[in-house]
Structure 1
Amino acid sequence: MTRAGFYSLLLLLFPVTAALYLAAAAENYSRSDFPADFVFGSGTGAYQYEGAAFEDGRAPSIWDTFAHSGHVNGVTGDVACDGYHKYKDDVKLMSDTGLEAFRISLSWSRLIPNGRGPVNPLGLQYYNKLIDDLISHGIQPHVTLHHLDLPQALESEYGGWLNRKIVKDFTAYADVCFREFGDRVSFWTTVNEANIFATGGYSEGLIAPGRCSPSIRTGCFGNSSTEPYIVGHNILLAHSATWKLYRKKYKATQKGYVGFSIYTWGMVPYSNAKEDIIATQRLKDFIIGWLIDPLIFGDYPEIVKRRAKGRIPALTKYESKQTKGSFDFIGLNFYMVFSVEDDRSLPDFDKWNFWTDVGVKIFNIDSGNTPPDQLPVMPWGLSTLLEYIKQVYGNPPIYIHENGQSLKRNGTLNDTPRVEYLRGYIGGMLDAIRNGSNTKGYFAWSFLDCLELDGYEHSFGLYYVDLDDAELKRYQKLSAIWYSNFLKGSNAISEVGENVFVSLK
C-alpha cells in the first residue's frame, strides 16, 4: 500500500481505529511463539557504559565535550558503568540472564582517536576481547558504529556532520571496523537514531554537539532551520557509502548485514478532525519518512521538501541512486505514543526550526494511571507502527533496537513497572509479527543502569548499578528475572519470586 493509500484508509477508518487503540496486546505468550530466527537481547552505548574516558589512548568525543560543559545534569561518562574494565563480569551476567544477542556501540575516538589515521592498538584490543567474550558465551554481537559520539577532533577540524568531508572519514572508519571485527560480527548499524541526532543535536541543542539557533536556547550557536537537514543529508550519504563498501569488499566473505537506525513513536490523531489526521501523517513523514524514504524510494517525502524548501539539500540523481536500497534492515528505537494536533501558529522568523516545519503539537497519551516518572504502556502503538512500516515501505526487515521503561533511580530492585512495560511491548510486537510484520529482533534498553540524558536521575537497566560503591556493583532487578525466565521458556505471565522485592537503600 502506498503512503497515500494508507493515509486515505486512516481518514476512512479513524473512528474505528480509535476504538481499537485500547485493545490489549498478546499476553499469554512464550519465547517459542516467535519465529525460529528471531533474536532477543539487550544493549548499551559506548559513552554511556564504558567509562575509562582518558585511558589507553582514547581521545574525547563530542559527548565528552558536551557532558563536561554541564549539559548532562552536571555529570559525565568519565567512569559511567566502567564497562571498559568490568565487561567480563557483565558478559557473564548476560549469559546468566539468557541473552541471545547484545547490542554494543564502538567508540570511534577510542579506536581511531583523531577520527582518521592510526588505529589505537589498545582500543582495538578492548573491542576484540569484548566481541570474543560475547561469542564465547553464545551471545551474538550487534554493533553500532556511531552512537552519537563523533570524535571531537573531526568536530573541531571541519564541523563534523555539517561537512561532507565526514562521508569519507566515516567510510574509512567503517572499513577498519569491518576489516578488524567482521569475521565475528554479522550485524552492523551505521548511525544510531539518525533523525534524533540531527534534530536533538542541531535544532534543539539538547544532545551533543548541542547546536541550535541562539533564539532557541540561551548560549546556543548554530542554525536550527538548516543544520538538521544538512546533517541528515550527510548521514544518508555516509551510510549509503558504507553499505556500498561492505557489499563490494566484505559481503561475499563475511556474509553480514548493514542497517540504519531511527527513533520513532506511536502517532495517532488528537481528534477525528481532518486537520489532525493530516498533521499525524505529516509528523510520520518528518520523523520516519525524512530519512527512510531515501533508502526505499530514493528521495525525501514531498511534504518535507516543500516545507523545508531552500533549506534541505537536494539528493542528486547520483546520490538518489546510491542511497535507494542501501540497507539490509531498519532499526527502530521506540518508547512511547503521542497524539498529534495540527499547529497553524507561526513563530518569529529567528525561531524557525525543524519542528516549526513539522507544524504539530504532540501530547503524551496515557490512561491517567501512569506516574509522572514512568512511560505509559501502550503496546498497540508499537503494533500500529510496525503495520505502518509494513504497508508503506514494503515490509523490510526490522529490529527493535531500543525499548524500555524509565524509572527514578531510588535503589529498589522491585521494578514491577518495567516488567509490565516489557511484557506489554513484547506482546504488541508479537501481534504485529502474527499480522505479517518482518520484525527480526528485540533489544531491551538497557542491560545496566547507565548514563542517560538526565545523567543518573533515571534509568532503564535490567540490572542496578550502585554508584556509591567503589566497585560499581551490579544487582539483578525484578525485570532481569522476568526477562531471563521468558528467554528460557517460561510463559510471559509467569510470576517471579517475592525475594527480589527489596531495597538497597
Structure 2
Amino acid sequence: MGGVTAFFYILLSLWVQDAAAIIGFTRSDFAQDFVFGAGTSAYQYEGAVAEDGRSPSFWDTFTHAGKMPDKSTGDIAADGYHKYKEDLKLISETGLEAYRFSISWSRLIPNGRGAVNPKGLEYYNNIIDELVKHGIQIHITLHHVDLPQILEDEYGGWLSSRIIEDFTAYADVCFREFGDRVKYWTTVNEPNIGAIAAYGSGQLPPGRCSDPFGITKCTAGNSSTEPYIAVHTTLLAHASVVKLYREKYKAEQKGVVGINIYSFWSYPLTNSSVDLKATQRAKDFIFGWMLEPLVFGDYPEVMKNIVGSRLPSFTKVQSVLIKDSFDFFGINHYYSLYVNDRPIEIDVRDFNADMSIYYRASRTGPPAGQGAPTNVPSDPKGLQLVLEYLKEAYGNPPLYVHENGLGSANDDLDDTDRVDYLSSYMGSTLDAIRNGVNVRGYFTWAFMDLFELLAGYQSKYGLYRVDFDDVRRPRQPRLSARWYSVFLKKNGSSPLVSGTQEDLTLNTVS
C-alpha cells in the first residue's frame, strides 16, 4: 500500500473504534436483502469519448463549448473505459453489495437508433459479467443525462415526442442483451431537477433557457415552457419502456423497472400559514411533478392551477399508461432547504417563479452542483423526513436511496467529514425503515471522484480519490472507503471495533 505507514493504520484503528460507539448501528440492523452500494455514471466516469465507435452525446458538445465553470470536459474523466477491470476489483475488495452505473446510449447505439456498436456491447457485457462473478447486485440506469447529440440535432431530444420511440428501442436492446443478468433497471436519472437545469437555467446540456432566467448564456430556449415539456415527454418515454419490459421481458427475466427523482427536504422558514403553504407547494412541484402522474395518473392540482396551459396535459390513454408504471422509485438526496412564500410579481415565469417560494440557506444551503453544495452542514433528519413523506403521500412504494454523499474541494484522503456524513444519513435511513418506510437499498455517491455535472473537477465526492492531474488516473482509498468496507464486512457484529490492518487494507490502483 504505497505511502501508507503502519502508524497510519494504528491511528485509523483507534479512530474507527471510537466511531463504532458513535453511529449506534451495524450492518445487521438492516434486513439481509437490503443492499448497500455506490454509484457512477457513464459520462462522468468512462472517458474515451471518441473511441471504439462512440458518437458524441450532448455533453461532449456542451463541454467542448466551454460551458463548465472550470472549462473542463469528460473526455477522459476517471478513464473508466480503460480502467474498469481494476475498478471492479476495488468494488469487490471494498465489499460493496451493489453497484449502480449507467449505459452510454452514444456508446451502445451511436446513431441513436439502429445498429448496435459491438465494442460498446462488449464493454458493458464485460462489466456485468465481472459483477455477477463477484456476486454484486447490478443496478443500471438507462439515461443519466447523456443523450446522443444526433437525436438532439434531428428533433430536439426530450422536447420532441419522437424520442419516446427511440428511447424505447434503446431500452429494448439493453433488456435483450443484459437482462438475463441485470434485475434492477432505472429509466431516467432525476429528470425533475435535470429539466430545470437543462431547459430553465441552461446549466446542463443542451443548455437552453430564455431571459431573464438563464444562469448561463443561452442561444435558444424558453424557460417558461420547455422544462415542463421535457418532463412530460420523459414520463411518457418511461411508461413506454415499463410497458415494453412487462410485456416482453418480465416473465422470463423477473426484473424491476423504476425511475429516479432528485429530492430535498423543505422546512418552512416560519410557522405562518403562507410559509406552510409554500413548503407544501415546494413538495408538490419537486416530488409531485414526477410522482403524482406515476401513482395517480395526473399532475398535482396546484401545478395545473399555477402553470396553466404551459403544463402539458395527458390524454386518457396516456394517463392509464403512466399510472402504476413503476416497480420502485430511486431518490437522490443531499441536503435540506428552508422555504418561505414569495408573491408572484412578474408576468413571465419559470419553474421557480411558478413555485412562488424563496429558498433560504439557514443551516443548510442552496444547490451549487451535482449533489449538495460543498462545505454545507448536513441534515440527516431531512432524508428521513423525505422517505416518510413519500410513504404517506404515495402509498409506501419501494424506495432506493440512489445517491447520497458529500462533495468537497478538499482532496485529502483523511475525509472524516464524509464518514460522519455517510454514517448519519445511513442512520436516518434506518430510522425511516423502523418507522415503516419500504426502503430497499442505500447507494453513496460516488464510488470514486468523477467529472461532476455542475462542478467539473472542482468538487470531490469519491470514496476513492482520483488524481486527475496524472494521465494514469490512479485511485487511492480515502478513509471513507475503509470505513464503508469495514461496516459492510463486519455483518452481525460491531462494524468498526476490530479495525485491524487486514480489515482496512484496500489497494491503490495506478
Q: TM exceeds 0.5?
A: yes
Q: What SS does the corresponding residue of 2:310 show, helix, strand or coil?
A: coil
* Gap change, CA 1:214 and 1:372, over 3 Å in 2: closer
Q: What SS does the corresponding residue of 1:468 show, helix, strand or coil?
A: coil
Q: Report the Cα distance in structure 1 between the residues aligned to 2:418 and 2:303, rounded to whole angstroms.
A: 36
Q: Tell me the alpha carbon deviations over residues 222-249 of structure 1, each in whole angstroms, 9 at most, x when there is no partner.
A: 0011001111100000000000000000
Q: Report the Cα distance in structure 2 between the residues aligned to 1:238 and 1:491, rounded to whole angstroms.
A: 45
Q: Tell me the alpha carbon deviations over residues 344-403 of structure 1, each in whole angstroms, 9 at most, x when there is no partner.
A: 1423x34x21110011111234289xx983232211101111110111101000000000
| 1:71 aligned residue | 67
| 1:130 aligned residue | 127
* Gap change, CA 1:372 and 1:85, over 3 Å in 2: closer
| 1:291 aligned residue | 290
Offset, 1:219: 2.9
* Equivalent position to 1:27, from 15, 20, 23: 23
Q: Report the Cα distance in structure 1 between the residues aligned to 2:494 and 2:433, rounded to whole angstroms.
A: 18
Q: Tell me the alpha carbon deviations over residues 101-156 of structure 1, each in whole angstroms, 9 at most, x when there is no partner.
A: 00010000000011111111100010000111111112111000000111000000
* Equivalent position to 1:491, from 489, 494, 498: 494
Offset, 1:214: 3.5
Q: Report the Cα distance in structure 2 between the residues aligned to 1:249 and 1:373, rounded to whole angstroms.
A: 44
AA paired with 2:103? Answer: L
| 1:440 aligned residue | 440
Matching of residue 44 in structure 1 with residue 57 in structure 2: no
Which consecutive residues of structure 1, in runs of 5 or more, have no partner in the other structure?
1-25, 501-505
- Which piece of structure 1 moves more, 297-306 or 211-220? 211-220
C-alpha contact (below 8 Å) 1:289/1:301 kept by paired residues: yes
* Equivalent position to 2:56, from 56, 60, 64: 60
| 2:258 aligned residue | 259
| 1:308 aligned residue | 307
* Gap change, CA 1:74 and 1:329, over 3 Å in 2: same
Q: Report the Cα distance in structure 2 between the residues aligned to 1:177 and 1:204, rounded to whole angstroms.
A: 32
Q: Report the Cα distance in structure 1 between the residues aligned to 2:92 and 2:408, rounded to whole angstroms.
A: 25
What's the TM-score, normalizing by structure 1? 0.90
Offset, 1:216: 2.2
Q: Report the Cα distance in structure 1 between the residues aligned to 2:224 and 2:497, rounded to whole angstroms.
A: 50
How do 1:194-273 and structure 2 match up within 5 A? 194-217=191-214, 219-220=217-218, 221-273=220-272
Q: Report the Cα distance in structure 1 between the residues aligned to 2:286 and 2:238, rounded to whole angstroms.
A: 18
C-alpha contact (below 8 Å) 2:41/2:101 kept by paired residues: yes
| 1:14 aligned residue | none
Q: Tell me the alpha carbon deviations over residues 29-48 of structure 1, each in whole angstroms, 9 at most, x when there is no partner.
A: 00000012101000001000
What's the TM-score, normalizing by structure 2? 0.90
Q: What SS does the corresponding residue of 2:164 show, helix, strand or coil?
A: helix
C-alpha contact (below 8 Å) 1:112/1:120 kept by paired residues: yes
C-alpha contact (below 8 Å) 1:102/1:140 kept by paired residues: yes
Q: What SS does the corresponding residue of 1:441 show, helix, strand or coil?
A: strand
Matching of residue 141 in structure 1 with residue 138 in structure 2: yes
C-alpha contact (below 8 Å) 2:364/2:379 kept by paired residues: no
How do 1:56-135 and structure 2 match up within 5 A? 56-72=52-68, 73-135=70-132
- Which piece of structure 1 moves more, 483-492 or 50-59? 483-492
Q: What SS does the corresponding residue of 1:407 show, helix, strand or coil?
A: coil
Q: Report the Cα distance in structure 2 between the residues aligned to 1:167 and 1:270, rounded to whole angstroms.
A: 40
Q: Report the Cα distance in structure 1 between the residues aligned to 2:288 and 2:25, rounded to whole angstroms.
A: 33
AA paired with 1:270? Answer: L
AA paired with 2:375? Answer: Q
Q: Report the Cα distance in structure 1 between the residues aligned to 2:425 and 2:373, rounded to whole angstroms.
A: 19
Q: Report the Cα distance in structure 2 between the residues aligned to 1:387 and 1:291, rounded to whole angstroms.
A: 17
Q: Tell me the alpha carbon deviations over residues 292-322 of structure 1, each in whole angstroms, 9 at most, x when there is no partner.
A: 1000000000001111101011111000000
| 2:325 aligned residue | 326
| 2:403 aligned residue | 402
Q: What SS does the corresponding residue of 1:336 show, helix, strand or coil?
A: strand
Q: What SS does the corresponding residue of 2:308 show, helix, strand or coil?
A: coil
Q: Report the Cα distance in structure 1 between the residues aligned to 2:44 and 2:209, rounded to whole angstroms.
A: 23
Q: What SS does the corresponding residue of 2:177 show, helix, strand or coil?
A: helix
C-alpha contact (below 8 Å) 1:270/1:339 kept by paired residues: yes
Q: Tell me the alpha carbon deviations over residues 402-461 of structure 1, each in whole angstroms, 9 at most, x when there is no partner.
A: 000011143x10111100000000000000000000000000000000001211011110
| 1:475 aligned residue | 476
- Which piece of structure 1 moves more, 373-382 or 396-405? 373-382
C-alpha contact (below 8 Å) 2:373/2:407 kept by paired residues: no
| 1:167 aligned residue | 164
Q: What SS does the corresponding residue of 1:459 show, helix, strand or coil?
A: coil
C-alpha contact (below 8 Å) 2:487/2:496 kept by paired residues: no
CA RMSD of aligned residues (A): 1.8
Q: Tell me the alpha carbon deviations over residues 260-307 of structure 1, each in whole angstroms, 9 at most, x when there is no partner.
A: 100010111111111111000000000000011000000000001111
Offset, 1:496: 5.9
| 2:508 aligned residue | none
| 2:17 aligned residue | none
Q: Report the Cα distance in structure 1 between the residues aligned to 2:101 and 2:208, rounded to whole angstroms.
A: 26
Q: Report the Cα distance in structure 2 between the residues aligned to 1:304 and 1:179, rounded to whole angstroms.
A: 38
AA paired with 1:442? Answer: Y
Q: Report the Cα distance in structure 2 between the residues aligned to 1:316 and 1:149, rounded to whole angstroms.
A: 29
Q: Report the Cα distance in structure 2 between the residues aligned to 1:312 and 1:399, rounded to whole angstroms.
A: 29
AA paired with 2:482? Answer: I
Q: Report the Cα distance in structure 2 between the residues aligned to 1:360 and 1:407, rounded to whole angstroms.
A: 28
Offset, 1:471: 1.2
- Which piece of structure 1 moves more, 256-265 or 484-493? 484-493
Q: Report the Cα distance in structure 2 between the residues aligned to 1:336 and 1:497, rounded to whole angstroms.
A: 34
Q: Tell me the alpha carbon deviations over residues 149-208 of structure 1, each in whole angstroms, 9 at most, x when there is no partner.
A: 110000000000000000000000000000000000000000000101211111111111
